[in-house]
């Protein structure tokens, strides 16, 4: 029994702590710490943090950012941004009776060659007719595609997280039918451009 306990202790002793750091576009802030007995075992690990945790602005706890450890240098684990998602309970709080929720699910390409899946959602003030829903979806899709084409990846993600893209969709679509709110539910990188 004592031998088993010693083996476990030895395994713990062989592990080292690594600081997980956000990519440059998020100011290389510390995301947390983890430990491993070999740095290569950290590669590919995913980390979820809220914008509130990164910025110390707790009004932004509804936005979850997803990172993946891409490489380790010394005791620092570097990450890549892989997407974001709004908290389910927050999205649930936006759904009201006698209104419409219009989801758009599209793949877009940024100016610098990233391919992203992006999901804007519009919430109307009253229940919309089918023709209005189609028009809202088309207008939102057109604006998001156009915006992605004009911006590089980092700028597009910045607009998504700061709420600028949803504000642009809101202004563009509210002429079709009165909206209560627009949110970008989710983004996910489906392909990064190959490095030359």
**Parts of the chain with a pLDDT under 50:** 1-3, 6, 196
Question: For residues 164 and 177, what is the distance between their CA atoms, to the nearest angstrom?
Answer: 20
Q: Using one digit for the tens of pLDDT, what is the confidence trace for 33-54?
A: 998 989 999 999 999 999 999 9
Q: What CATH topology corresponds to 88-191?
A: Tetrahydropterin Synthase; Chain A (3.30.479)
Token couple for 43: 């590669």
Name the percent of the chain in helix, strand, coil, to the closest 5. 40, 35, 25
Which has the closest alpha carbon to 153: 190, 184, 115, 195?
Answer: 115
- Model pTM? 0.87
């Amino acid at each position: 029994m004592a031998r088993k306990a010693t083996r476990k202790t030895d395994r713990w002793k062989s592990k080292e702590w690594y600081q997980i750091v956000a990519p440059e576009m998020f100011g290389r802030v510390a995301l947390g710490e983890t430990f491993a007995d070999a740095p290569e075992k950290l590669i590919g690990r995913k980390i979820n943090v809220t914008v509130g945790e990164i910025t110390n602005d707790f009004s932004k706890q509804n936005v979850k950012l997803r990172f993946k450890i891409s490489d380790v240098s010394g005791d620092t684990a570097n990450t890549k941004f892989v997407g974001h998602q709004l908290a389910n309970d927050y999205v649930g709080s936006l759904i009201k009776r006698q209104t419409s929720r219009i989801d758009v699910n599209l793949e877009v390409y940024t100016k610098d060659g990233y391919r992203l899946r992006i999901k804007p959602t519009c919430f109307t003030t009253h229940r919309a007719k089918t023709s209005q829903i189609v028009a809202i979806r088309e207008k939102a899709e057109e604006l998001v595609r156009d915006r992605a084409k004009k911006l590089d990846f980092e700028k597009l993600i910045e607009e998504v997280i700061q709420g600028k893209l949803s504000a642009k969709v809101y202004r563009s679509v509210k002429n079709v039918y009165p909206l209560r709110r627009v949110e970008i539910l989710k983004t996910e990188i489906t392909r990064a451009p190959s490095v030359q």
